[in-house]
Amino acid sequence: MDYNAKLYDMPHEKAWCPGCGHFILHRYLREALAELHIPPKNLVFVSGIGQAAKLPQYMKGNMFNGLHGRALPAAMAIKAANPTLKVIVTSGDGCSYGEGGNHFLAQIERNSDIVHIAHNNMIYGLTKGQASPTSLKGMKTPVQVMGVTNEPFNPIAVAIAMGATFVARVFVGNKEQTIDILKQAINHKGYALVDSLVQCVSMNKLNSFQWYKEHTYIIEKDHDIHDRKAAFAKALEHDPYPTGIFYEEKGKPVFWEQSAAYKKRTDPLYKRKGDIEKLKVLIEAKRSI
Ligand SMILES: Cc1ncc(C[n+]2csc(CCOP(=O)(O)OP(=O)(O)O)c2C)c(N)n1
Ligand code: SF4
Ligand SMILES: [Mg+2]
């Protein structure tokens, strides 16, 4: 197979505004997959609802497009049913941290073996520009007319505090760094968060491509990504926001391999035949409650 970014592209038109940051992540993700030589049939792209959540429809591979905020549990289940697949969630900051906030915490606790690319444009893009959990305090929107009153949600600090095993932030203005980190996240065994700063040119006039460029910096080379305390301290930094890998931990057991189904057997669930007699006993037991 000839691995190149085009291999993973779907030819139809993309329903994003010209200049939207989701285009850039779409291209970098395809380049990362091509460099890793992953066949499209081994990939599953999972999303909820939003502009970012359209991305699986624009990728060659398997896909599941579910409810807003509900991409993560679906992804975890897909991986548990067939651990040979690479499962990649691509959804927005709202979908990932707002409506999907509780699932975000659960994925980290379970160390589900998935990649979570959170397209963070600091706004609800699809629904025309309401504040998202990561919108900056004071930002005015058609709904938050007096300005956002909440402190912005810090996904990096929360992920490290909850014990996530791969935590990174990228800004799509840094091509080399973004592709490199996407590749590392895809190769990581365990839950891998890549909070990805992207511009929404139509609904967020504050956090433009230029704004991200001026308000981010690349984490110093001497940062120890295995030092959780140092990672947490770095996660609390804002303006300028650090980009790069904050924390990585290897060897922590992942969700699917700890589940009872894989204790004695390693063949994927989808290949196993259901035991109808056992199911009947279970249903009868429930009926008698
Ligand atoms: C449970 C539920 N709440 C709200 C909505 C409406 N809704 C659809 S997309 C969206 C915001 C999407 O924002 P984000 O996830 O940041 O993605 P973006 O469009 O910015 O890429 C909202 C609020 C919905 N579809 N379902
Ligand atoms: S509204 Fe924003 S997020 Fe949606 S396609 Fe346009 S630029 Fe992208
Ligand atoms: Mg958004």
Does 28 contact ligand 1 (Cβ within 6 A)? no
Question: Average pLDDT, stretch 43-55?
Answer: 98
The CATH number for 197's domain is: 3.40.50.970
pLDDT in tens, 220-270: 999 999 999 999 999 999 999 999 999 999 999 999 999 999 999 999 998
* Domain assignment of residue 275, yes or no: no
* Domain assignment of residue 111, yes or no: yes
For ligand 2, atom 6, the nearest C-alpha belongs to 17
Q: What is the pLDDT at residue 228?
A: 98
Does 52 contact ligand 1 (Cβ within 6 A)? yes
* Domain assignment of residue 142, yes or no: yes
* Domain assignment of residue 93, yes or no: yes
Q: Which domain holds residue 106?
A: 5-264
* Domain assignment of residue 138, yes or no: yes
* Domain assignment of residue 276, yes or no: no
For ligand 2, atom 5, the nearest C-alpha belongs to 16
In which band, very low, low, confident or very high, does the pLDDT at 140 lie, cut at 50, 70 and 90?
very high
Looking from the CA of residue 52, the nearest atom of ligand 1 is: 21
Report the domain count for the chain: 1
Does 50 contact ligand 1 (Cβ within 6 A)? yes
* Domain assignment of residue 36, yes or no: yes
Does 203 contact ligand 2 (Cβ within 6 A)? yes
pLDDT in tens, 72-117: 999 999 999 999 999 999 999 999 999 999 999 999 999 999 999 9
Among 20, 54, 124, name the best residue to mutate to test ligand 2's pocket (greatest count of ligand atoms within 8 A of Cβ): 20
Q: What is the pLDDT at residue 274?
A: 84
Write the DSSP string, the chain.
Answer: ----GGGGB--SPP-S-TT-HHHHHHHHHHHHHHHHT--GGGEEEEE-SSSGGGGGGGBSSEEEE-STT-HHHHHHHHHHH-TTSEEEEEEEHIIIIITTHHHHHHHHHHT-S-EEEEEE-SSBTTTTSB--TTSPTT---SSSTT---SPPP-HHHHHHHHT-SEEEEEETT-HHHHHHHHHHHHH-SS-EEEEEE---TTT-SSS-HHHHHHTEEEPPTT--TT-HHHHHHHHT--SSEEEEEEEE---PPPHHHHSGGGTS--S-GGGSPP-HHHHHHHHHHHHT-
Does 122 contact ligand 1 (Cβ within 6 A)? no
Q: How far is the CA of 270 from the centre of ligand 3 (A)?
A: 34
* Domain assignment of residue 180, yes or no: yes
Looking from the CA of residue 128, the nearest atom of ligand 2 is: 1
pLDDT in tens, 3-46: 999 999 999 999 999 999 999 999 999 999 999 999 999 999 99
Over 90: is that where the pLDDT of 121 sits? yes
pLDDT in tens, 167-210: 999 999 999 999 999 999 999 999 999 999 999 999 999 999 99
In which band, very low, low, confident or very high, does the pLDDT at 1 lie, cut at 50, 70 and 90?
confident
